[in-house]
Structure 1
Amino acid sequence: MTSNANQERLQMQVAGKETLADGVVRLTLVDESGAAAPAWTPGSHIDLVLDDTITRQYSLCGDPGDTTSLTVAVLREADGRGGSIRVHDKLESGDLVTVAGPRNHFALVDADSYLFVAGGIGITPLLPMAREVDSKGTPWRLLYGGRTRASMAFADELAAAHPDRVLLRPQDEHGHLDLATALDEAEPGTVVYCCGPEPLLQAIESACRERPHVTLHVERFAPKALPEGDDGAFEVELGRSGRTVQVSADETLLDAVLRVGVDADFSCREGTCGTCEVAVLGGTPDHRDSVLSEDEQAENDAMMICVSRSCTPKLILDL
């Protein structure tokens, strides 16, 4: 099982499937019943429930003002876990697919200026962000890299629409993205949004730590590598009932609460989608997720129970 039945789910139809770039297809999804598509904000993603064992998260890349459809772009990952291959090879126009969400753990914050940095398919959550800030007249720039120009979805339309704001840097032509220059040129107070493969995210996190004049927000496709933590046993008090659950060293907190019948939402089980976020009422979590920022983790008022554990003998959670 990959997700909880309490999640809001819709049956949606694939109204369109088209190739955007090498290895990238765009899906347009409409409500099966003809109802309006769910509302969303830039940075949101949805779950595509492809079968009983495959649920994958994809960023929405269309127009939040479009109430008729949802749009995602999917990169075919030959070495992935099978979800993208299923989308590319099996899902066709007219097919029905279950959708959960939207959810947003990569929300666009107010700022005086923005720098968007995309690596490959990481362009998808940044598209609606750029459209929104552009519509408000807020200064922004986009640094967009990919393996080749032909693999970079939306590249031509972005460059044509915003030649003075968009810098395309295919790796086979320019090498790795020049993050240092882009960050050094950013005005003080600039908010940086970055999405892409892990090496890019690690590089920009390192670069931004040395440049306090910018504030960084990242979104990961896969869980970041973490040092080995203490997987000792601990206990969790369920704040809504006062019941206490023992979490053994060889089980996750999520599995422990599911074992005793708690109806907890979850999806990815690897700390990247944010579905299992729970408020912390007491104790100190051992954060191992890839959703919360360092500052958000330091607040210790929420945690992802699918991967995170406890630094204290006991946690109290809003469950």
Structure 2
Amino acid sequence: MVSSSPLSLRVRSIRAEADGIYSYELVTQGSQPLPAYTAGAHLTLTLPGGMARSYSLANRPDEDDHYLIAVGLDRRGRGGSVFMHTQARVGDVFSTQPPRNNFELANDAKHSTFIAGGIGITPIRSMIARLSAERQSWELHYCVRNRGAAAFLKELESLPNVHLYFDQEQTPTRLDLEALIAKQDADTHIYCCGPKMMLDSFLSHTKSHSPDRIHFERFSAELDAGSLRKQYRVRLARSGQVLDIAPGVTILDAMINAGLSPVHSCAQGICGSCETIVLEGRPDHKDQVLTQAEKASGRRMMICCSGSLDDELVLDL
């Protein structure tokens, strides 16, 4: 499992970036330096009540005096965004781990094409800032409901290689995702971050492309898919304890219900805190942390969201 020294970050400023989107500038307490990060990275904040939520970093990686996150309000979510929008204040202090990156930018790409939907612009803003600073070739296609819902709109409109799509304006504009992907050169790297429908369409249209140049990040793991509908057993090798995992229950939930205290944080398959070694059995991966090669090896899994393809898994716990 991944472990690292926690950070205490103070909210230095809060700003409305768009309808339903606030940004938060976070700084360290005292003289503690901010750990460096790369474009596409995220923070997992521990909120009151034990909630842990992961938010992409939106500022340039060379801005080493603060982190910038943006949070879209989702009243149908699990409560993190509602807390950040209604209760977080300047001066509040949150605990977090140093940034992690599961959505890395390919530094050697001849050209990079970015596709963002809604709050999915957050990590991509950091990426295009880095590429711009290094005078590398890129383009952005940003889809939102209307101009009021577009975060960082004034900044993006000033850039010549940004294409904006508003599907609920008086004169709607919509991105033809299939056509866009079809015209990309073979050596272009393509990135997508946005809601489930956009991601599903993106993956469908990029099936024939080299996986090395297709990059995407979901807002959360696919918790409703595959093995979460089946029952299986988990054997904990160190303790010898056996857990029966009921349909719809994660391994993490089953362990907590059994009185155990597994290391975890986001519970969304994003942060990587619950990464666990698999000794026997085939995991059914649903996380956004492991690479395709790591998933294919079956040697590690995220117990907060992934399940089992077999009737039994043996874990190094």
Q: Which residue is equivalent to 1:50?
A: 47
1:65 to 40, 62, 66: 62
**CA distance in structure 2 between the partners assigned to 1:207 and 1:157 by the alignment:** 30
Decide which moves more: 118-127 or 217-226. Answer: 217-226
> SS of 2:206's equivalent?
helix
1:234 aligns to 2:233 (yes or no):
yes
Which structure 1 residue ranges, 5 or more long, are not aligned? none
Q: Which residue is equivalent to 1:83?
A: 80
Contact 2:221 / 2:305 at 8 angstroms: preserved in 1? no
1:299-310, aligned counterparts within 5 Å? 299-310=297-308
Contact 2:42 / 2:100 at 8 angstroms: preserved in 1? yes
1:1-319, aligned counterparts within 5 Å? 8-110=5-107, 111-160=109-158, 162-163=159-160, 165-173=161-169, 174-211=172-209, 215-224=213-222, 225-227=224-226, 229=228, 231-238=230-237, 241=238, 243-250=239-246, 252-255=250-253, 264-292=262-290, 294-319=292-317
CA shift in 2, pair 1:87/1:260, >3 Å: closer
Contact 1:278 / 1:317 at 8 angstroms: preserved in 2? yes
Residues matched between the structures, number: 311
**1:146 offset after TM fit, Å?**
0.6
**CA distance in structure 2 between the partners assigned to 1:62 and 1:20 by the alignment:** 13
**1:131 offset after TM fit, Å?**
1.9
Cα deviation per residue 1:189-208 (whole Å; 9 max; x = unaligned)? 22211111111101111111
Cα deviation per residue 1:222-267 (whole Å; 9 max; x = unaligned)? 33342455633324354xx5x4331213353334555788763212
**1:304 offset after TM fit, Å?**
0.9
CA RMSD, aligned part only? 2.8
Deviation above 6 Å: which 4+ runs of structure 1?
Answer: 259-262
CA shift in 2, pair 1:179/1:296, >3 Å: farther
**CA distance in structure 1 between the partners assigned to 2:157 and 2:212 by the alignment:** 24
Letter in 2 for 1:98: S
TM-score, length of structure 2 as denominator length: 0.86
**CA distance in structure 2 between the partners assigned to 1:128 and 1:183 by the alignment:** 22
Contact 1:201 / 1:218 at 8 angstroms: preserved in 2? yes
- Identity of aligned pairs, percent? 34
TM-score, length of structure 1 as denominator length: 0.86
